[in-house]
Amino acid sequence: MVKTGAMGTTGLNTSNFESMSQRLPGTETLNASDRFALLNCRRLPARLDVAQTAAILNCREHDIPILTRAKMLRPLGKPAANAPKYYAASDVVTCAGDREWLDRATRALGTHWKRKNARNGEVDDAVND
More confident residue, 13 or 56: 56
Mean pLDDT of the chain: 78
Say yes or no to pLDDT of 21 above 50.
no
Is 59 a member of any domain? yes
Question: What span, in angstroms and rounded, lies between the C-alpha atoms of 129 and 114?
Answer: 22
Is 4 a member of any domain? no
Determine contact, residues 102/58, Cβ cutoff 8 Å. no
Provide the number of structural domains found in the chain: 1
pTM of the complete model: 0.67
Is 107 a member of any domain? yes
Say yes or no to pLDDT of 126 above 80.
no
- CATH of residue 94's domain is 1.10.1660
Structure confidence at residue 1 (pLDDT):
41
Tell me how far the alpha carbon of residue 9 is from its chain's centroid.
27
Q: What is the pLDDT of residues 76-106, one digit of tens each?
A: 999 999 999 999 999 999 999 999 999 999 9
